[in-house]
Structures are given as structure tokens and as C-alpha cells.
Amino acid sequence: MCEYCGCQAVTAIDELTREHDLVVNLIADARTAHTAGDADAMAVIARRIAEVLGPHTEVEEHGLFPALADEFPEQIAGLEAEHRRIEAVLGEAADATPADPGWPLRLLDALNLLRAHILKEQDGVFPAALAGLSTEDWEAVEAVRARAGTLLRAAGGQ
């Protein structure tokens, strides 16, 4: 992903970026499963994406976004609304493959939104955070990460 601003030198952003990278790979897997007509595989992948996004979203919404909300209220509100839309579609597969034959296309739409969302964060939020957050803000982000955890370490640091 993004490497032009140096924001990945900050541990919190590096972890968020690596989670984005993992999710982008999973999105590709979901598209492959869709092409193969494998809704069950799509559901498994949706659950994996939701697993990665759980702690990721918590770090963003309870650590990073609050520090940026005063300066960028509309953008942050929009990103949070996109989180809810994506979570809703992923959540449809939380327990099993959805029976609704329209779900695979809804998932692809949500994953397209997620891909665009990731680019907004990589190209807008993360550089803005690097430029604008104080030491105290970064400490707050790190505290949320400590509470939320990460699946990167469990996934072998992917």
C-alpha cells in the first residue's frame, strides 16, 4: 500500500496498514470464490475479514478517529458509516453461509466499498494522523490497540 509519507514508521499505522494488506488479499480470495460460484468459501472469507476488522476498527474508532474528528468531522463520520455498512454485510455470514441468493453480490459490493475505504484511510487518514496527532494522541491509540489486540501476530505477522 502507501509508502510515500513515512507514516508506516509509526507502529500503530504500520499495524493498521498490515491489517489492510491482509484484508486486500482476502478480498481477492473472495472474488476468486465468487467466480467459482463457491458461496460457502465466500462466507468463510467474510468471517475471516470480520475477524481482522474487529480489532482494527476498534483501534480506528476509539483511538485514531477521535483524535482527527475535530479537524475532519465529515470525513470521520463518513468512514464510520462505511464501517457499519461493511460490518452489516459481513455479519450476515457470521454463523453460516447466508441462504439469500443475493448475498454473494452484496458481499462483493461491500468488499468493493471496503477496498475504496482502505484507500481513503491509507491516502488520507494515516498521513493526516502522522502530521497532526500529538504524543498523547498516539499513546491513546496504542492503549486502544493493547485492549483490542491484533490478529496479525496470530496470523504469523502477515
Contacts of 129 (CB under 8 A, 6+ apart): 7, 10, 13, 64, 67, 68, 137
| pLDDT for the residue 150 | 78
The mean pLDDT of the chain is: 91
Specify if 20 maps to a domain: yes
Quick: pLDDT tens for 27-74: 999 999 999 999 999 999 999 999 999 999 999 999 999 999 999 999
Residue 19 to residue 135: CA distance in whole angstroms: 23
**pLDDT beyond 70 at 155:** no
How big, in percent rounded to 5, are the helix, strand and coil portions of the chain? Answer: 75, 0, 25
End-to-end CA distance of the chain: 14
Is the pLDDT higher at 149 or at 104? Answer: 104
* Residue 139, domain extent: 5-148
Specify if 61 maps to a domain: yes
Total domains present in the chain? 1
| pLDDT for the residue 6 | 54
Contacts of 63 (CB under 8 A, 6+ apart): 12, 140, 141, 142, 143, 144, 145
Specify if 157 maps to a domain: no
| pLDDT for the residue 5 | 52
Instruction: Read off the CATH number of the domain in which 121 is found.
Output: 1.20.120.520
Specify if 153 maps to a domain: no
